[in-house]
Amino acid sequence: MAVSTVSSKTESPTVGLFSLPVIVAALGYFVDIYDLLLFGIVRVPSLKDLGLSPEQISTVGASILNWQMGGLLLGGILWGVLGDKRGRLSVLFGSIITYSIANIACGFITNITFMDPITYYALMRFIAGIGLAGELGAGITLVSEVLPKEKRAIGTSLVAGIGLFGAVVAYFTVKLFDWQMAFFVGGGLGVGLLLLRVGVVESGMFTNVSSQEHVSRGNFLSFFTNKNRFSRYLKCIGIGLPTWFVIGILATFSNEFGKALGITEEIQPGLAIMWCYVGLAVGDLASGFISQAMASRKKAVTLLMIVSLVFGLIYLYFGVKSATLLYGLCLAMGFGIGYWAMFVTIGAEQFGTNLRATAATTVPNMVRGTVILMTSLYGSLKPSLGIIDAGAAVGLISFIIGFYSILTIPETHGKDLNYLEE
């Protein structure tokens, strides 16, 4: 149950769509996505340069990726709690320092002699994962609180839409240079962003709440101590499941689906993921305007979720026979799951100022963590159902949960965010 707070004299000084907090949050998410997807893009060449066999590249690569995802889960809780206890800006600064150092360190992996390079690689990706977990939630929370409610949807869409193009830049950076330089570029972008953030001012809503010593802030366990709050939290996570089904299953394993569909050309998962993120970026930019036009977060997300479901069914069951068409469908599905920014915004808007950063930071990272469950289920179902039906089964579960969650969660369009959770 939420209780409204009395309006305070402290106001956020920036309210424009192109104000410094919005620009910095967008560029921060750009760097975040660049670094988040970089290991997936450089996994094969980097491990090959370390002398691993094709079989080892598969198993060791999966292990290192799981370490990164583990870092994201842990970091989501860590930065979320800190965001509500110490402020949104503390997370924006702390997270960028953490993953920038870790990415630069990854560029030196071939020079490591004081420990096993593979162990070092996994450790650095774990640290990078912790750092990467804080960027989006803190940025969306800050933007949601400094913008007037009439502009929130468009503002957060700009953040995610611009940020998601980091995936495209990461892909082409690796193509133009080498994997080590790509890590250095990612770290360098982070350091540059850190300097830009010096001029960003803290959210007025957080400043007001932080002065009230009796208010409990950033209590992660409080999501589980109230039935209504727990339900909202689980539904926030559920809304995001279809997004990572498309990315983590249909795009990531597109080479397997391509073979199962009888496509003779070799499908490159890295290219499929890139096209998926191009669509995702465009969808994110559009989602804010769709939400404004419909005056509803729920209607906008439902519409985009239907789009992703339709193109997902075409991808699996309508006899795709060319690589070009498959990549095109990844682009279309990416547009459909372009409610990612809206999903994180809903997570921020569902909870009071004293829990908002914790929710907005942990929710997307919980969704990212479900990829481990999805890939495990997909792998276990393949022997009995085959590749196509195994993927469809995982998708069916994801979309059922997604539609139920968005249709039953409270509407937050135009909601006043200046309130606390009891």
Tally of residues, the chain: 422
pLDDT at 9: 44
Confidence of residue 88 (pLDDT cuts 50, 70, 90): low
Report the pLDDT averaged over residues 150-164: 77
pLDDT at 360: 81
Helix (H) / strand (E) element for 419: namely strand 419-421
pLDDT at 206: 46
Which residue type sits at 247? Answer: I
Report the pLDDT averaged over residues 405-413: 89
pLDDT digits (tens, 9 = 90+) for 313-322: 999 998 888 9
**Around 223, how many Cα atoms within 13 Å sit in the side-chain half-sphere?**
24
pLDDT at 235: 94
The segment with the largest mean pLDDT, out of 94-98, 345-349, 404-408, is: 404-408
Give the whole-angstrom CA distance, residue 150 versus residue 260.
47
Phi, psi at 3, each rounded to 5°: -120, 130
Tell me the percentage of the chain whose pLDDT exceeds 70: 87
pLDDT digits (tens, 9 = 90+) for 281-292: 889 888 888 888
Phi, psi at 295, each rounded to 5°: 55, 40
Which domains, ranges and CATH numbers included, belong to the chain?
19-200 (1.20.1250.20), 224-422 (1.20.1250.20)
pLDDT at 273: 86
pLDDT digits (tens, 9 = 90+) for 201-259: 544 454 555 555 555 555 777 788 888 889 999 999 999 999 999 988 898 888 889 98
Task: Confirm if 29 and 159 have CB atoms less than 8 A apart.
Answer: yes
How far apart, in Å, are the Cα atoms of 316 and each of 303, 383, 387?
A: 20, 17, 10
Tell me the percentage of the chain whose pLDDT exceeds 90: 26
Is the pLDDT at 181 greater than 80? The verdict is yes
Mean pLDDT is lowest, of 202-216, 246-260, 385-399, 404-418, for 202-216
Higher pLDDT, 61 or 102: 102
pLDDT at 4: 44
pLDDT at 14: 44
pLDDT at 111: 87
Write down the mean pLDDT value for the chain: 82
Higher pLDDT, 141 or 366: 366
Which residue type sits at 62? Answer: A
Is the pLDDT at 145 greater than 80? The verdict is no
Confidence of residue 189 (pLDDT cuts 50, 70, 90): confident
Output the pTM of the full model.
Answer: 0.79
Residue 258: count of CB within 10 angstroms of its CB: 23
Task: Confirm if 338 and 279 have CB atoms less than 8 A apart.
Answer: yes
